[in-house]
Each structure stands twice: as structure tokens, then as C-alpha cells.
Structure 1
Amino acid sequence: MQGSIGIFDSGYGGLTVLKEITALLPQYNYLYLGDNARAPYGNRSFETVYHYTLQCVEWFFAQGCPLVILACNTASAKALRTIQQNDLQRLNPHNRVLGVIRPTTEVVGRYTKTNKVGVLATNGTVQSQSYIIEIEKFFPEVKVYQQACPMWVPLIENNEHNTPGADYFVKEYTNALLQQSADIDVVLLGCTHYPLLQEKIKQALPPQVQVLSQGAIVAAGLKDYLHRHPQMEQRLSRGGERLFYTTDSTEDFNTHARLFYGADVQSAHVELKS
């Protein structure tokens, strides 16, 4: 759909970001693509994540999207910079690809009083060190502690996030984070799936610890970006349409999507060659 904003994720988590973006900026048209057939990206190599993400960005550009948001922390960590620096000029120098890590790291330091911030994320995001590198650029005084949470995405995607098993793994990973520093007063959910566990995470942390999820922050960052780049804003089509695509089963996608998006969706299938 010409002029739509593209929202990409390896699976369903990006729908939590799309939900917040469309609440704040409902006037634009949106295309969502979940690469569910090749999800999860969290444990894949940098090269594989880059290859898959680039394929999906090329698909969005072919649909006429001038702006693509990688609503996936792993793709933002492992592929965004390479695509911006190496591929955009070749694909379309007037189009833009943005991620979810930068807008989050630009503001996270405003929330901490102790200058100790915890990040809960996938293995891939933790290994990339992206949050440590980016937060240091904006808030060099802030010390960042990371904890990988490999069980959370499978629990959420299998609709097991309200079970005692989920409670166990929430406690395990939050305790492991707090063991690194008892002074952490802000915890950032560095994966777009994790808002579905947000209440459990809050309960597992001391009451003075603030938990930040990315959706609202990314939405506010996008609004600011469009304000600062009117030439891009003018290329966007309006009408409030939302189209959903998946590289896997549309039936599975539609069933799961309601959990993340909070509304029924009807998706279409896209075949991407590996």
C-alpha cells in the first residue's frame, strides 16, 4: 500500500509497538510483517538476522513503504546499522529504516535516580551490547546491567505467560538481574514480547523499581521524527488502514495476534525465499 509505514518484527512482538503507534498516530496507513516462519531471531547469528531483515525491508520497499520501523530488538541490534550504512543507498536513498533501540536509549537515563539501569532482553540483543553502547552515548554516567531471558518468548508465543511456569522464569531472570546490582531502579524491557509479562515482572521486582516497555516510547519517538522530517511525513498516506502479513500460517498469526495487538486481525501470507 503506497505511502504506508512499515512495521517489521520476527514474529508477534512488534504488534505491541504497532498498537502504541496507531494509538498515537492513527491517521496514517500501516503495513505489518511478521517473519513467523523464521522466528525467533533472538538466538540466530548476526549474519542470518541481517540477511532475513534485509529481505523483509526490501519487501516493504516493494510495497511502496517509504519508512520502515524494525519493531524487533534483535533486528535493531544486529541488522539496522548495516542496512542504514550499506544498503539504503542502493535500495532507495530517499527511504528510511528506523529501530526501537535508539529512541529508548535516548530517554532511559531520565528515569533513573541511581544511574543503575537493568535491561531484560533476548540472547541476541544482550550479546550485541547495543543497549550498553547506545545508552553510554546519551547518558555516560549510567551503568547498564543486562540479563538474557531465553524462556520468555517461547512461553509468550505458546500462550503460557499466565502459568506458574512463567512465574518461575520471571523470578529466575529478574533475580539474576538484581544480583548484578541491588541499586537498579529502572528496568527496560528490551524485547517487544515482554509487555505481556509486564505485570508479573513488576511483581517480581522491588516496588521502587520502574519498568519501562518500548511501545509508547517508540511511538513518541516516531511522532517527533516525523515532526522533524516533514519531507518524509508528506510522503505518508493517510486513511487509518492496517494490513497484516506473515511468512507463516495466517490462521496461527490471527490467533496469536489478538494477544499482542488487543484486537482481531486478518492477515495475508507472504512467501520470502531464504
Structure 2
Amino acid sequence: MAKHPIGVFDSGYGGLTILKEIVKKLPGYDYLYMGDNARAPYGPRSFDTVYQYTQECVRWFFSQGCELVILACNTASAKALRTIQQNDLPQIDPSKRVLGVIRPTTEVIGRFSKTGHVGILGTTGTVQSESYPIEIAKFFPGVKVYQEACPMWVPLIENNEHNKPGADYFVKKHLDNITSQSKDIDVLLLGCTHYPLLANKIRSFLPATVNIVSQGEIVAESLAAYLENHPDLANRCSKNGERAFFTTDSTSDFDAHGSIFFGEAVRSQHLDLLAGKG
């Protein structure tokens, strides 16, 4: 692996849906992906725990030469990003950057809606953080935001049950819950990087007038613009078109699931965070 890859972090596999779009948009860069599968899911965990885990992983990325780390995890972005940016980065290395997936999404989500009624589907942690309503209000103060926590969706996906009939109940339940909050919702944001794998099933329970928005392309476009606007940082990131994958849990499980999220075969290495090395 080259010396200064762009780090992409998630609590598990979901961030691979983000990395997939980033690689498609910016194929020349080197990328280092890490899934903290051993401690997933992050969604139900406390703010302090998510911050602790995320900070440990960010420090690992920096130890691997990353100048830029993307938190491709809505829960980590909601519960840990601001503290890492404001408190940790100035002490660790002010020249390094850590970015999340919530800000790029909230900067544009209002443009997808004609009615001004937007629904957010996310983990319990993301919903409880109120990050989306707070951030959307900054860019689209007239937009009304409705949220629904979907705690069963990630386990269904990670156990490969998401395309089976048994998942229908949990998908329909949460869609009914959020659409009952407002009949004018015309945009549903998949506010968890796992949820694109449920997109077809979600679509089957909704009218065609509802726009289902995934984050991958939005984040990739935002990152491209960010690097263009920060050429010094872009020049510090190595460009050999290489990719490496790490997981804190079973590599065989990661590779099997990861290929589904990433859209092509992945081959991971095991990382023991306590040992500080793979």
C-alpha cells in the first residue's frame, strides 16, 4: 500500500457502498478501508463509546500514513466527528483532515424535494443525535424533516436476510411509521450506509412519487469538490490506484459480505487495534 492513502472508515461493511462511489468518481487515489466489525453495530451505542471507538480507528489510519479520513458511517459522523475535528485533530496533527457523510448530504438533500418534506431513515444513534434536522435547517430552513429509527435493518442485511420475505415486515413497518408523519414526504434519505442494499425492497412499498436517496454519489461528488478546493491536501494523498481492506473481525466473513456492498471481490486483512497492527 502506498504511503498516503485516503482512509475510509465504517463500523462494518456499509461504508463500502460509499467507497464504491468514491472509487468510481476518483479512481486514481489510493484507498485504505477499515471496518470495525468486531465492535459493530455502532448504532445502539452511547455517544462516548462511539467517540472512543472512532477516535481509536482514526488514530490507526493516521499511523498508516493517511492525510485524510472519511467517516463513511452515519453513526460515527453523528456522534464522534465534531469532537474529533475540534478537540483531537489540533493536538494530533492540524494538517490532517477527518470528514463525515452527514454534512455533504444535508448540503444538497433539500434540492431533491418539491414539497419541502424530507424523511430520514437511520440507526437509533443517528436519529437520536438529531444531526440531520440540525444540519438540514442550516442549508434549507424551510424544509420539514421527519425521522425514523430502523434498528432491525442492519442485522437483517448483515445476516443476508434483507432480500427475503421475512424482511418485508420490518421494512414496511418503518416505512409506514415515517410516511404516517406526513403525507407530503417526497424524499426518503437512506441515512445509513447499509440501507442501499434494501433500496429495491423499500421501493416496492412506496409510491413512485417518493424519491429514495442514497449517500454514495453525494459523498463522492462532495469529496471531489473538497480535494479540488484543497490542492495541498490532494497533493499529499498518493495516487497509484491501489486499495487495501482491513477488518477487526473475521476476514472470511468480511470478504463474503464486503463483495456484496462493494460490488466486486474484496480481500481483507485482519487488524488487531489493541496490538496496533494487522
The bucket for the TM-score relative to the shorter chain is over 0.9
Give runs of aligned pairs for residues 142-221 of structure 1, distance below 5 A. Answer: 142-221=143-222
What's 2:135 paired with?
134
- Structure 1 residue runs of 4 or more that deviate by more than 2 Å after TM superposition: none
Partners of 1:202 and 1:210 lie apart in 2 by 9
1:168 offset after TM fit, Å? 1.4
What's 2:76 paired with?
75
Q: Deviations over 1:127-164 (max 9, x none)?
A: 00000000000000000000000000000000001111
Q: Indicate the SS of the match to 1:170.
A: helix
1:46 offset after TM fit, Å? 0.1
Q: Indicate the SS of the match to 2:180.
A: helix
Q: Deviations over 1:192-226 (max 9, x none)?
A: 00000011111111210000000000000000000
Partners of 1:141 and 1:203 lie apart in 2 by 29
Amino acid at match of 2:4: G
Partners of 2:267 and 2:52 lie apart in 1 by 27
Q: Indicate the SS of the match to 2:33.
A: strand
Partners of 1:243 and 1:212 lie apart in 2 by 28
Partners of 2:249 and 2:46 lie apart in 1 by 21
What's 2:10 paired with?
9
What's 2:49 paired with?
48
Partners of 1:2 and 1:101 lie apart in 2 by 28
1:273 offset after TM fit, Å? 2.8
TM score, norm. by length of structure 2: 0.97
What's 1:97 paired with?
98
Partners of 1:72 and 1:255 lie apart in 2 by 20
What's 2:255 paired with?
254
Partners of 2:137 and 2:116 lie apart in 1 by 11
Partners of 2:250 and 2:91 lie apart in 1 by 32
Q: Indicate the SS of the match to 2:236.
A: coil
What's 1:113 paired with?
114
Partners of 2:49 and 2:240 lie apart in 1 by 35
1:23 offset after TM fit, Å? 0.5
1:265 offset after TM fit, Å? 1.0
Partners of 1:22 and 1:213 lie apart in 2 by 16
Q: Indicate the SS of the match to 1:243.
A: strand
1:107 offset after TM fit, Å? 0.2
Q: Indicate the SS of the match to 1:8.
A: strand
What's 1:33 paired with?
34
Amino acid at match of 2:173: E
Partners of 1:101 and 1:165 lie apart in 2 by 30
Q: Indicate the SS of the match to 2:154.
A: helix
Amino acid at match of 1:170: V
1:166 offset after TM fit, Å? 1.2
Partners of 2:186 and 2:194 lie apart in 1 by 22
What's 2:19 paired with?
18
Q: Indicate the SS of the match to 1:211.
A: strand
Q: Indicate the SS of the match to 2:13.
A: coil
Q: Indicate the SS of the match to 1:180.
A: coil
Partners of 1:123 and 1:206 lie apart in 2 by 25
Identity of aligned residues (%): 67
Tell me whether 1:245 sits opposite 2:246 in the alignment.
yes
Amino acid at match of 1:253: F
Give unmatched runs, 5+ long, in structure 1.
none
What's 2:224 paired with?
223
Partners of 1:91 and 1:269 lie apart in 2 by 25
Partners of 2:166 and 2:140 lie apart in 1 by 36
Give unmatched runs, 5+ long, in structure 2.
none
Partners of 1:132 and 1:273 lie apart in 2 by 36
Partners of 1:223 and 1:205 lie apart in 2 by 32
